[in-house]
Structure 1
Amino acid sequence: MSDLQISKSQKIRGYSKVLLLFIVTAFITFSSINAQEKGSISGKIIDGSNNDILIGANVLVTGTSIGASSDLDGYYSIKNLLPGTYQLKFSFISYRSIFVDDVKVLAGKETKISVTMETTSTELSEVVVTAEALKNSEGALLNIQKNSLNIVDGMSAELISKNNSSDGTDILKRMTGITIADGKFAYVRGVGDRYNNTLLNGSSLPSTDPEKRSFSYDIFPASLIENVLTSKTFTPDKPADFSGGLVEINTIEFPTKFILDISASTSYNTVSNLKDFVTYSGGGKDWLGMDDGTRALPSLITDQKVGRGNYTSDQLEEIGNSFNNNWNTKKSRSPLNGSFKINMGDKYELGEQSLFGYIASLTYSKSDEIKEVERNNYTFEGPRYEYNGFNYTNNVSWGALFNMSFKLDKNNKVSFKNIYNQNADDETATYKGAYYSGPDYRDVTAIRYVERSLYSTQFIGEHNFNLLSGIKMDWNLNYGTSTRNEPDARRYIYSRPYDDPNSDFRFLLDQSLSTRFYGKLKDNTYGGSINFNVKPFEMSDMPSFKFGFNFDKKDRAFDARTFGFRNIPGGNFMQEDSTLLKPVEQIFAPQNINPKFIEVVEITKPSDSYDSNQEIIASYLMTDFSPVTDLKVVVGARYEYSKQEMLSYSLTDEEIKVSPTYNDLLPSLNLTYAINEKINVRAAASRTLARPEFRELAPFSYFDFVTNELVQGNSSLKRSLINNYDLRFEIYPQAGELFAVSIFYKKFDAPIEQILLASSSFEPIRSYQNADNAENYGLEFELRKNLRFFSDAMKHFSFVGNMSFIKSKIKINGNGFQESERPLQGQADYIANFGLYYDNYLEGIAANITYNKVGERIARVGFAGLGNIVELPRDQIDLSFSKKIFEAFSIKVNVKDLLAQDSKFVQKTLDGDKTSELGRKGRVFTVGFSYQF
């Protein structure tokens, strides 16, 4: 969206054509009065040498004595200007002055002009630009990339909106070198979630998943995000536990004036909405993404394991009947998907230099998805199972944000930032197919409700010390908590003989097949940091130094309990009993749960729960300087002390304690050579690391209903070290334009990989291991270009595209059970994103067509006779159109996944590629509106 706001002409109001003369007279009178109303100019001033803000820079309306200077945040404001066209002069010692022409001030309006000032190390001592060149916020973000100390890619709120992004996942998949796995986890430059990190407003986040280190980006509504930056090279002032990329999500802060925005949308998925939808009876708060206790563990169950020896037969009967008898599914009609959001904010001037501002936001969305799937699994001996069926998922997501900032004066600011998100997936899966272990033909039903929550709060301070020239300090205190609750996940199976399709389906009464699972995870993250930036004498040619300290602590508690139902040994209830031909809720009727028929037994293992914590204490020192003209050197090192502790129990109830401790010194070097003011050449070298996640260290194993696999940790995992090398050539032809080429190489020591193991139960086991070493290298291209060079008629069109070509090679120790060399898990050999955008600001029209494709990649690694499972490429095309109808009202129409190609996974076998999973996709049509008061 443009920084320069252009008002439309005053609207004529009236009641009838008879009063036309009166209306015209009133309009002329109003216009005359309004002409005397004054406007203002405001904006932000950035230091182009390091992408920091400039404090105390001067802004002057040329030809007058009217002006202002930038405050602690680099902001300035010039008020009480008569409507007209002005020229602004921006100046600061040792920096080139900037003259901005054609700055239009409108009555009662605030004109936005932000600039980036360069040092006088170049030949020019001043530069003249026009206000038109500064009005694109996407161009402002490119200035961040151009002047950053390291290699950074980004996406602004403007482009997020143009791309019709609904959440953080949609944003990231359009960025250079990033792919999305499982619909929510990011792979940057071909390396998986463990090699990437996420910061929210500069602070670490708790995990949103018990299995993965990665943050689930789909939990963030796009409307709460100001911008997203991805650092692809390491500098010591950032956490070192990443190699692919450090994703920095910055939420909206506060507006420059009062805002109240309301928007809503509805969407139709061609395969999911207004269709028969299989679900079950849930709770009264499901619409909020929260279980109301309907799925809670019965109160009769204590910490004592349920089973014979701990309870009498009568007690077991009472406990068995205390579970809700809610196994059955039912059909309903899936409605249209819907969402809404409301944003409100304002700022208040408390004095000449004091300011208070806030922003509050609430978002809500609800959607249904039907996924027709084919799910198969194979070994070298042949197929394990071959299922066909449907996944039905109802998703509820809502988020709230409240940020406020208080500027004490030009040199001191404190902020309080809060965000809360609640997200729930209510899933029902139904499959039918051959299970070759029996062999039999099965009808499988699985019901699962997973709710996730995230709360993050931060106190942030920024200070500039006038008495100590050139010293800036910032600090951050943060707390975050995330929960993942999976109450009462149910699974049951009916079967018939494989070779007799006319026989009846009979319920399989087995404690490992008729189960109820309860899992609960809670992560707490505490942290703090303090940073000092010292630039002696504020001279641009002097080295600047930055040093600081950081502390992060994470506590996790995970508890899981599983209960099965079985035929009582020696009882009267036999597998051949006709009762097992009945619906499941009749089988589990109270009269059947008693000492003669069915009893409940807890099959929880001691390893199914664990407690863990992690401490990281870090300090760093870095400097940036220019040894020769136009060359900037950023060099330094970060020291990190880390300790992970995990306490769990073996199958024999013996205590297992894992406590790896590391001391790591992690150097970094970034070089930027400015060939001229539009061309940079960058080079970087660094060492970073990746630590195993708590879940990966825990010996606990559980059944994943979605993938039909057991998941098991490995307590012998160790952290990985990565050497990173980067080279980048970038051109910024005009404001808002970019062409960049990057080459990168990474060397991994002891990378952690996810593998598939065979098991005696004939169910595959997903686990983790350290490989010997790995290499990852690639080439990236990025282009953002306005198409005016074709002809002036194309001035509203622009092209945005990026491509990545990536190769990797991982070496496995010679155990004879898997390939000795293969690509890294999750690494795609290419990634392509292209978009053609039309943006006519004056007419209020915006439209775009975007394309995304990701190459073949290993989803799960095979082991001991199991072939790799590979995700195949698919093409995705999205369309978007928006029109501003009135000053405050706009509509938007989108089509997502126009081609609706199937999602397909194949498993490598001796007989060629076999379909492992096939999912049908639908086109999504969305209509929305927004109104700004």
Structure 2
Amino acid sequence: MSQTMSQTMSQTQRYPVLLLLWLCGIFCAEPLHAEPSNSDQLNTGQSNTRQYSHKNSGYGETASCIPPKQIVQITEDSLSHALQSAARYFHFLIVVPEALLADKRTAEIEGCYSLVQLLEQLLQDTPLEYDLLGDTIIIRQTTTEYSRNNDDEAHTISPEELIVTADSAAEIQPRPLNELTGPTELSINTRQLREAGIYTLSSALELTAGVKIEDNRYAIIRGMTGRYQSIRINGGELPSLDPSGQNFPLDFIPLGILNSINLRKSVYADAPGQASAGIVSLNTMQLPKQAYAQLTASAIWRPHSNHSTVLQGSQTSANRYGFGDGRQAIPSLLFDNARTGGVDTLSAQQREQAGEAIVGDMGLYRTKSKNSGSLELSTGTTGQYQNIRWGGTLSASVRDRWQHSLIRSTSYSTGTGYSGASSDFHHEDSRHKRSEHTSDINTLAALGLHISDQQYLGFNTLYLHQGTHHGELIETQGKNEQNINTETAYRRNLIHWTERSLLLHQLYGLHKFTPLTTLNWQISKSTTEYNRPHDLDYRYFSVSEESNYRLQLLPSTASISWRYMEQQSDSYGLHFSHLYGIDLGDALLTGEFKTGWENSVKNREGYNLLYGFTGSKDLTSNGQIMEQTNPSDILTAERITGDSQIPGFILQDTLLEPEQDIGLNGHFYRATQENQASYLLNDLDLNEHWRLISGLRYEKNTLQAELWDAQPEDNKKLEDGTRWLPSIAIGFQRPQQRIWLNYRQTVVWPRFNEILPVVYEDLDTRTKTIGNPRLHSSDVHNWDLSWQWQNVSGLELGAALYLKRIRQPIEGAFTDNSEATDSATYSNYSYRNSGQGNVRGLELEADYRLSIGRNQHIKLSGRYARIHSQVSGSDAYDDSDDAEEKPKNHRPLQGQPEYIAALRLQYMPGLNQTVSLTGKRSGTQLYITSDQPDLPAVYQQPRNHLDFSWNYRIHPGQLTFSINNMLNTAHRYLQGDYHYLDYRTGREFLLSINVDVQ
């Protein structure tokens, strides 16, 4: 299938033509024959899809070659790729049993050949032979009793056993279940990634124009953040792993468990309404073709991060392989008390016991880091009994990473804004020393059952677990408006251990009632856990150059907290497709009708419990006590009391009294979001070259939540909306090029973290982040025009123009929310609806492959996207009914870079080696907006990125060496005249060995 175009219509009665085609396709259509045809892609046994054939039009004739011969040049060492090139040269459709081409190679071919000569040359020394049926070539296993001239017997080959290889290398892979309509912008399997020296999922996605990766973790498609896209695995939705985030971190998934990666930027009615920017589909290993085992070991070295001095809290010695030992869990006395009114309700003895229990070791220590690396093991088996084929795969990986960073940051004086009216200081300059140690353990178990090539049943269990220790020392100096030091300075320590995990179960099936009618379904159930126990955040203040640093015990400067979130996510999908034909006398219209139903329910609950201490004056004024560098030596058991009348330190909390709880307020929370969707889609071949895709999707989204301290109350409905989302596309396709004009309406439903008034702190920006319960959904109208062209000389070109109009886009902004967060003005970050957003973009892609000698090739790939965005309307964050009219303003949309460019050069000096050099650069983008004219917004600055990789295939595996981030260009964020953030992530050297056993 290919991309789509549609026109804006809001009611179903505005689609009489589409509805007529749907009805005619079902009730008036004549069934198609099952044998191969020129306009139907042969079925792989997993999905019903169609593809135009390559007609034998004499293309490629030259003066040096007399027809039917042509000048051909085939440089691919893969037999499957070489057959695709043959199909392009002679414009034939090639079909082949999918298992026959696995790992088969061929030599280079150059010269003047006929189709028969070329096929014989390609298939020599292989157990394969071919049959010519009109303009179709059938590749099959060599048999002595099979006659090439027996056309009747050739027609008995079952279409369910065949797969088309004429268009793309990805077609040789088993097609995924629940495949969306239309072609992919990127379709690649993990074997191709390893050969190219790519070992992370994020780097793979950057092979597409207009895709940017933030922090090596999050995909930004067409400059649009996570709220505008969808990430799915085997058709099921991947939930967020962080209560304060909405994107799924791509570094969380190892490539070893994936079979293929697909990216679509233009989607139709059978895709989620959230996918305004696109959808990333991850497909795990399913039913293997044969038994195998694969082992991959990687060693990573980062200068100044591995075998270097780093910062850690002492409790990490008890955390092995990403799992904590429970010693930092909240004391049961405090947890039970949090639900019954707070520490003021405890007896003096209980309060003293709780205070002594939560201190632990609060020190930040220097230690030596160790190795970074990974180990991945994957194995699978398969078998067959009569017409039943079964199999399973098991994959497991362990990864260990160290990262040490030096960061420079500047923040404006909280409470004064850009005007600098404060008599204390105008801004703060900070130097950060940050160390992170991350451990991952991931496993995947998959089972599959194939019955008579008509029924397929699969089951997956995926478990991902990540543990991260974070140690950070921040040294801050207050500055006046002339950038001269004031007397205010402090040192801040951050120490925490975070565990994230995902347990996902999936059951799915495909049932072919006839060769033309298919039903597939999937059920996914997942549990996500986020746990950050004994989170330490404290500061030592110095009020003059002559004074030493002292621990300051204030609610906003010293805290011990416990944060936890658990989310249960259930998703269901049922999809029906039918291939049909409409006989118009001299013409036969063929098409595919699809309809489906999807439902997703997410139940989230969690808590944020924050505690601190206050001290009597005789202790807090004692420099000998308060200047000790480890708070554990200050908050000793002898000094902790449970009675405020007794001198000492007493435990405090930030919980509200039960009678103060009004509405959405509290440290415990729960929320439920449900999305129901159904769709109709018709994919119609108007003739040999023209195709029309039209569809309509209905979505209903509800979100309700409650926050409380003592006892929960009834949930409050925060979102309850419905949308009719039309889509339409018209496509023109010839053997060398295709053109698509698409339209689709999508919707952005607010996520949990954007709408729940739960407070978190961002580690990079050091701002308090809180959701906005008044947030509204955003409607997006998407238009795009795309063109792709390729010729037999190895040149492929692509271009796309797109326009997105967003009503009330959701953006993150600095805001004053000090009452809710107990923090100073402008140290907060929240979400709001802006007026009207527009995004216009131009994307260009070019790939060229040049043969410079026998078995030597150069491949050059270029990607460029130019993006212009604009938000018009009020920038003030005021949702009150009597808010005054604010002046209109124009600025870029948050998250939109001015451009995204990438250039990749690959040199293949032989059949077994590949050397790659990849450069990337993105333009300035708005990072954080501001709701105050005297507080500047934050802009991320352009940055260059260069990667190198060398891959060498050695039987039975391969060796990869790569250098990531060779230039080590700084990440810079500017706010007005100051560096809001400035840091370097460092170079990364990787050596990987992969061994395959078949």
Deviation string, structure 1 residues 80-132 (Cα, Å, up to 9, x no partner): x99656432386xxx941255xx9999xxxxxxxxxxxxxxxxxxxxxxxx9x
How much does 1:677 deviate? 1.1
* 1:518 Cα deviation after fit: 0.9
Superposed, 1:713-792 pairs within 5 Å as 713-734=771-792, 738-758=796-816, 761-762=824-825, 764-788=827-851, 791-792=852-853
Task: Indicate which of 475, 478, 481 corresponds to 2:527.
Answer: 481
Aligned counterparts, 1:592-741, within 5 A: 592-594=639-641, 595-604=646-655, 606-649=665-708, 657-674=716-733, 676-734=734-792, 738-741=796-799
Displacement of 1:549 after TM fit? Answer: 1.1
Larger deviation, residues 361-370 vs 811-820: 811-820
- Measured against aligned partners, the alpha-carbon deviations of 1:172-203 in whole angstroms (never above 9, x if no partner) come to 23332111234422211111110111111111
Mapping 1:144-183, distance limit 5 Å: 149=182, 152-183=185-216
Matched, 1:914 2:949: no
Letter in 2 for 1:447: I
Which amino acid is 1:726 matched to? D
Distance 2:896 2:957 in 1: 43
When residues 819 and 282 of structure 1 are mapped into structure 2, their CA distance, relative to the original with a 3 A threshold, is: farther
The one-letter amino acid paired with 2:513 is F
Corresponding residue pairs, total: 828
Query: What residue is the counterpart of 2:602 in the other structure?
Result: 554
Amino acid at match of 1:663: T
Q: In structure 2, do the counterparts of structure 1 residues 677 and 356 end up closer, same or farther at CA, with 3 Å as the change threshold?
A: same
Conservation of the 8 A alpha-carbon contact between 2:307 and 2:371: yes
Quote the offset at 1:149 in angstroms.
2.4
- Confirm whether residue 290 of structure 1 aligns to residue 323 of structure 2: yes
Partner secondary structure for residue 320 of structure 1: helix
Write the letter of the residue equivalent to 1:907.
Q
8 Å contact from structure 1 (residues 508, 575) kept in 2: no
Amino acid at match of 2:269: P
For the 8 Å contact 2:181–2:268, the answer to whether it is kept is: no
* 1:488 shift after superposition: 1.3
In structure 1, the gaps of 5 or more residues are 1-44, 58-71, 107-130
Task: Indicate the residue corresponding to 1:344 in structure 2.
Answer: 379
The verdict on how the C-alpha distance between 1:46 and 1:358 changes in structure 2, with shifts beyond 3 A counting, is: farther
Aligned with residue 565 of structure 1, among 591, 613, 616: 613
Q: Is the 8 A contact 2:807 2:836 kept in 1?
A: yes
Match of 1:401 among 441, 444, 452: 444
SS of 1:304 mapped into structure 2:
helix
Matched, 1:545 2:593: yes
Q: Report the Cα distance in structure 2 between the residues aligned to 1:272 and 1:805, rounded to whole angstroms.
A: 36
Instruction: Evaluate the alpha carbon distance shift between residue 173 and residue 78 of structure 1 in structure 2; reply closer, same or farther with a 3 A threshold.
Output: closer
Deviation at 1:777, TM superposition (A): 0.9
The residue that corresponds to 1:333 in the other structure is 368
Q: Kindly provide the CA deviation profile for residues 740-797 of structure 1, in whole angstroms up to 9, marking residues without a partner as x.
A: 1000000001110100124662451000100111000101111222112xx4458432
Q: Does residue 586 of the first structure (1) align with residue 633 of the second (2)?
A: yes
Task: State whether structure 2 residue 283 is matched by structure 1 residue 250.
Answer: yes
- Identify if the C-alpha distance between structure 1 residues 655 and 412 changes in structure 2 by more than 3 Å, giving closer, same or farther: closer
Residues 151 and 553 from structure 1, CA distance in 2 versus in 1: closer, same or farther, beyond 3 angstroms? same
Name the structure 2 match of 1:381: 419
Q: Indicate if the aligned counterparts of 2:180 and 2:271 stay in contact, CA closer than 8 A.
A: no
- Native 8 Å contact 1:509 1:575 kept in 2: no
Of 493, 496, 500 in structure 1, the residue corresponding to residue 539 of structure 2 is: 493
Out of 361, 367, 372, which is 2:395 matched to?
361
Partner SS state of residue 718, structure 1: coil
Contact in 2 for aligned 1:142/1:738 (Cα 8 Å): no
| Aligned-residue offset at 1:607 | 2.8
Listed one character per residue, the Cα deviations across residues 521-572 of structure 1 (whole Å, up to 9, x for unaligned) are: 111111211111112369973232111111111111121100011114xx64
- Tell me the amino acid that sits aligned with residue 593 of structure 1: I
Q: What CA distance in whole angstroms lies between the structure 1 residues aligned with 2:735 and 2:232?
A: 31
- Corresponding residue for 2:915? 847
Give CA-to-partner distance per residue, 1:301-343, whole Å, 9 cap, x none. Answer: 1332475640122221111001142110211111221111111
Q: 2 CA distance for matches of 1:765 and 1:697?
A: 15
| Shift in alpha-carbon separation, 1:310–1:147, aligned structure 2, 3 A | closer
Q: Which amino acid aligns with 1:335?
A: K
Residue by residue, what CA displacement relative to the aligned partner does 1:411-467 show, whole Å, maximum 9, x if unpaired? 11111122111112211110112146995111111112221111222111111113x
Is 1:822 matched up with 2:891? yes
CA displacement at 1:718 relative to structure 2: 0.9
Instruction: State whether structure 2 residue 995 is matched by structure 1 residue 931.
Output: yes
The 1:50/1:565 distance shift into structure 2, 3 A limit, reads: farther
Matched, 1:271 2:304: yes
Q: What is the distance in 2 between the residues matched to 1:740 and 1:478?
A: 36
- Which of structures 1 and 2 has the larger relative contact order (alpha carbons within 8 angstroms, sep 6+)? 2
Does residue 446 of the first structure (1) align with residue 494 of the second (2)? yes
CA contact (8 A) 1:139 1:735 kept: no
d(CA) in 1 for partners of 2:687, 2:358: 75
**RMSD, aligned CA:** 3.3
Contact 2:252–2:464 (CA under 8 A) maintained in structure 1: yes
Contact 1:607 1:699 survives alignment (8 Å): no
Kindly provide the CA deviation profile for residues 458-492 of structure 1, in whole angstroms up to 9, marking residues without a partner as x.
111111113xx621111111112211111111011
Between the aligned partners of 2:893 and 2:326, the Cα distance in structure 1 is 42
User: How many angstroms apart in 2 are the aligned matches of 1:54 and 1:47?
Assistant: 19
TM-superposed CA distance for 1:631, in Å, is 0.4
TM-score by length of 1: 0.83
AA in 1 matched with 2:539: I
Alpha carbons of structure 1 residues 328 and 538: separation in structure 2 relative to 1, 3 Å? farther
Instruction: Determine if contact 1:191/1:824 at 8 Å carries over to the other structure.
Output: no
Give yes or no for the alignment of 1:522 onto 2:566: yes
- Over 3 Å counting, the alpha-carbon distance change for 1:141 and 1:811 in structure 2 is farther
Query: Which has the larger displacement, 773-782 or 736-745?
Result: 736-745
C-alpha distance in structure 2 between counterparts of 1:402 and 1:46, whole Å: 38
For the residue of structure 1 that corresponds to 2:967, the secondary structure is: coil
The answer for the alignment partner of 1:858 in structure 2 is: 926
Matches of 2:984 and 2:887, distance apart in 1: 31
Distance of aligned partners of 1:578 and 1:494 in 2 relative to their CA distance in 1, 3 Å threshold = same
Q: In the alignment, what sits opposite 2:661?
A: none
Question: Residues 704 and 719 of structure 2 are in contact (CA less than 8 Å); yes or no, is this contact kept in structure 1?
Answer: yes
- Residue 232 of structure 1 is matched in structure 2 by 265
Question: Per-residue deviation at 1:632?
Answer: 0.6
State which drifts further: 753-762 or 855-864: 753-762
Task: Spell out, residue by residue over 1:837-895, the C-alpha distance to the aligned partner (whole angstroms, 9 max, x if none).
Answer: 234664x222211111121112211222321111112211111112233x224322111
In structure 1, what is the equivalent of residue 476 of structure 2? 433
Separation of aligned partners in 1, 2:42 and 2:467:
39
Distance 1:344 1:151 in 2: 28
Q: Which runs of 5+ in 2 are unaligned?
A: 1-35, 50-94, 103-122, 144-163, 421-425, 481-485, 657-664, 819-823, 877-884
User: What is the SS of the residue equivalent to 1:302?
Assistant: helix
Distance in 1 (CA, whole Å) between partners of 2:909 and 2:505 is: 39
CA distance in 2, matches of 1:681, 1:917: 43
User: CA shift at 1:928, angstroms?
Assistant: 2.1
2:953 equivalent among 884, 898, 902: 884
Counterpart CA distance in 2 for 1:147 and 1:88 is 32
User: Secondary structure of the equivalent of 2:626?
Assistant: helix
Task: Give the letter for the 2:987 counterpart.
Answer: R
Residues 704-734 of structure 1 deviation map (CA, whole Å, 9 limit, x = unaligned): 3442111111111111100000100101324
Q: 1:184 to 1:651 in 2, by over 3 A?
A: farther
Task: Measure the CA separation in 2 of the matches of 1:364 and 1:87.
Answer: 44
